[in-house]
Structure 1
Amino acid sequence: MHRNPQHQNDDDSEEYDGPSKSQRKRDMHKLQDMGSELVLLSPARLAKVPLPERLHEAILEYARVGKHEAKRRQLQFIGKLMREVDPEPIREALDAIAGVSKAEIARQHKLERLRERLLEDEGTLGDIASVYPGADLQHLRNLRRNALKEREAAKPPRAYREIFRILRELEYAEDPDQAADAGDDGEADEA
């Protein structure tokens, strides 16, 4: 059987018709994984994620479902609903809640540097007072003194961590829920 060269060229010039079936499957699994992250959130944190009402209700329903197989099916349904929405704002909200967004990481580092400056120089309290007018400077001064004593005695850094907690609360004064969401994750790499 002889193949027509013209016919062979037609096969080679097929147009790209979108992602492969495997890629679409991987994308669906990513959306379902994101749905798995959403079902683990507390209702207060879930409220901060921009979700369509139907998807929000499906996630809340997941908590009410009791059996393993029913939970698996509900999670698949959530993944299906996720295909209908833009996942980027949801991913950004999840990252912010987890404290991994670039802005959140930068904010944590800024607070850590401010704490270090305070430990090096008590005059930094003036800077803190100008940036955070509601700061209790006397309390921070005492914590600074205690943190330096703890460091010299090689004791657990309780005051050191408390300084960070107070600075974080001052930073998030406009949005108190953010401070609770940030947790102590900003200190994960400290001694």
Structure 2
Amino acid sequence: MNIVGDSEHFKQPYDNDDDYISKTSYKKESADLQDLGNKLANLSKSQLDKLDLSEELYDALIATKKIKPRTEAYRRQIQFIGKLMRSEEIAPIEQQLANLLNKNNNEAAKIQVFEKLRDKLITDGDAEIQALVEEHPHLDRQKLRQLVRAASKELAKGPESKSSAELVKYLRSEIK
């Protein structure tokens, strides 16, 4: 046996194995699944209800809500969720999560639009109310004027205004 010429001696056990997963890539995959599990655990129960999750994974995520965050028990629960997710189809869950989070971002953007409209109504007064009623004839001009007047009076006293919030709520409910 010639050791220098014997290349069989230096072959690794995984050189011919196409299914071999390195320890590093396995750990990375586990960490990625745990990160996704942590994102899911941070969702509210109503948001989790909207996702298409297996019963076992759903129950584990709900159980996470009862555990104090940043504790060893929480970390182990997240690891368990990562383990459960190895048997799940991850792509659909990630897509549903992205859609759910984007929907929340869209809601925040809509609220900002109505808050800007409220500010414009308060600063420009009747001229802006008239333009808005012309654009949306189903709006109640009198109610709109009352809300704007009350909001501007309250804003003169301080930055937080109940009437201002009512005005945004009214605009959101009436303008689609």
Q: TM-score range by the shorter chain?
A: 0.5 to 0.7
Specify the alignment match of 1:37 in structure 2: 42
| 1:104-151 Cα shifts (integer Å, max 9, x gaps) | 343222112111111122222234335544433321211111111112
Change (3 A) 1:139 1:35: same
- Structure (1 or 2) with the larger CA radius of gyration: 2
Specify the alignment match of 1:148 in structure 2: 152
| Contact kept in structure 2, 1:35 and 1:79, CA below 8 Å | no
* CA apart distance, 1:56: 5.8
Specify the alignment match of 2:172 in structure 1: 168
* 1:39-78 aligned within 5 A: 40-42=44-46, 45-47=47-49, 49-51=50-52, 55=54, 58-59=57-58, 72=77, 76=81
| 1:140-170 Cα shifts (integer Å, max 9, x gaps) | 2111111111122337411112111222223
| Contact kept in structure 2, 1:146 and 1:159, CA below 8 Å | yes
Specify the alignment match of 2:142 in structure 1: 138
Specify the alignment match of 1:113 in structure 2: 116
Output the TM-score relative to the length of structure 2.
0.61
* CA apart distance, 1:50: 4.4
> What SS does structure 2 have at the residue aligned with 1:87?
helix
Change (3 A) 1:111 1:156: closer
Match of 2:100 among 89, 94, 99: 94
**Structure 1 spans left out of the alignment, 5+ residues:** 173-191
Distance in 2 of aligned mates of 1:169 and 1:146: 19
Q: When the two structures are aligned, how many residues end up with a matched partner?
A: 153
**Structure 2 spans left out of the alignment, 5+ residues:** 68-72
Specify the alignment match of 1:185 in structure 2: none
Output the TM-score relative to the length of structure 1.
0.57
Specify the alignment match of 2:27 in structure 1: 22
| Contact kept in structure 1, 2:151 and 2:163, CA below 8 Å | yes
Specify the alignment match of 2:70 in structure 1: none
| Contact kept in structure 1, 2:37 and 2:81, CA below 8 Å | yes
